């Protein structure tokens, strides 16, 4: 009788242990479950080099100066005092400011195109007046401009400038190209999403004037 009771007790204990094992997931399974439920962490932003950081700051200062200064009469009618403060870096003289930020070669092309158009008969809107090539629009500027995706390679800085509305919607993208001139950044070109660029447009307009016999050199 005692042997029978012991056998019964052992059977009950074994069955209880098996039932517990089936109901309780293993430590390995728990670890997987916890790992799967953990949200993925976003990739950290790439740290900018010293040149990339200085290029980004320069481009941002230019667009603040241009949008809040040159385009709005240097805050003569602005209500946002903080925006007006940002126009002081390049001064209130637009021509002097452009000489600081545009490369000599780009300034030369712009001057040549203006001279060619001035010597040409009045045949409508010229290339420089067709639309604003710095913000790539023929209307009002966006509410703000943010500098993104800065990359410097072999002394050339390429950035993406996104014009955004108050609703944080990207309205336009300009891709300036910069290089160092006498130790400071200057714009050498402005590229656009549709594939063309400012320099090519200026050269094409000059060629068109020359082909039409309107070049001031002829």
What share of residues in the chain are helix, strand, coil (percent, to 5)?
Answer: 45, 20, 35
Alpha-carbon distance of 180 to 173, in angstroms, equals 23
**Region of poorest pLDDT, from 6-10, 113-117, 141-145:** 6-10
Q: What percent of the chain has pLDDT over 70?
A: 67
Whether 129 maps to a domain, the answer reads yes
Whole domain around residue 90: which residue ranges?
Answer: 50-211
Please, are residues 175 and 169 in contact by the beta-carbon 8 Å criterion?
no
pLDDT of residue 124: 60
Tokens (6 digits) for 105: 């070669």
Whether 125 maps to a domain, the answer reads yes
H-helix segments, 40-80: 50-65
Whether 15 maps to a domain, the answer reads no
Whether 16 maps to a domain, the answer reads no
Alpha-carbon distance of 13 to 21, in angstroms, equals 13
User: What CATH number has the domain bearing residue 114?
Assistant: 3.10.450.50
**Tens-digit pLDDT profile for residues 165-187:** 777 777 889 999 999 999 999 99
pLDDT of residue 17: 54
**Tens-digit pLDDT profile for residues 12-61:** 555 555 555 455 444 444 444 444 455 555 455 679 999 999 999 999 99
Whether 28 maps to a domain, the answer reads no
Mean pLDDT (whole number) for 101-129: 85
Alpha-carbon distance of 112 to 106, in angstroms, equals 10
Whether 106 maps to a domain, the answer reads yes
pLDDT of residue 20: 54
Alpha-carbon distance of 107 to 1, in angstroms, equals 111
pLDDT of residue 59: 96
**Tens-digit pLDDT profile for residues 73-96:** 766 655 556 656 666 678 888 899
Whether 96 maps to a domain, the answer reads yes
- Cα dihedral 114, 131, 70, 100, rounded to 10, equals -50
Alpha-carbon distance of 113 to 107, in angstroms, equals 10
Whether 166 maps to a domain, the answer reads yes
pLDDT of residue 112: 93
pLDDT of residue 82: 60
pLDDT of residue 27: 46
**Stated pTM of the model:** 0.72
Domain count, the chain: 1
pLDDT band of residue 108 (cuts 50, 70, 90) is very high
């Amino acid at each position: 009788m005692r042997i029978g009771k012991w056998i019964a007790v052992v059977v009950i204990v074994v069955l209880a242990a098996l039932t517990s094992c089936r109901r309780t997931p293993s430590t390995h399974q728990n670890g997987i479950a916890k790992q799967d439920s953990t949200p993925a962490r976003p990739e950290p932003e790439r740290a900018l080099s010293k040149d990339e950081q200085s290029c980004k700051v320069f481009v941002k200062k230019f667009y603040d100066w241009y949008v809040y200064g040159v385009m709005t009469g240097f805050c003569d009618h602005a209500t946002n005092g903080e925006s007006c403060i940002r126009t002081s870096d390049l001064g209130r003289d637009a021509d002097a400011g452009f000489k600081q930020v545009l490369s000599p070669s780009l300034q030369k092309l712009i001057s040549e195109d203006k001279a060619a158009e001035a010597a040409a008969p009045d045949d409508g809107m010229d290339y420089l007046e067709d639309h604003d090539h710095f913000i790539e629009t023929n209307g009002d500027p966006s509410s703000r401009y943010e500098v993104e995706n800065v990359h410097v390679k072999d002394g050339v800085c390429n950035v993406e400038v996104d014009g955004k509305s108050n609703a944080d919607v990207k309205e336009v993208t300009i891709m300036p190209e910069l290089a160092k001139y006498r130790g400071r950044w200057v714009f050498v070109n402005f590229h656009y999403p549709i594939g063309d660029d400012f320099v090519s447009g200026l050269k094409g307009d000059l060629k068109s004037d020359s082909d039409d016999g309107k070049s001031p050199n002829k």
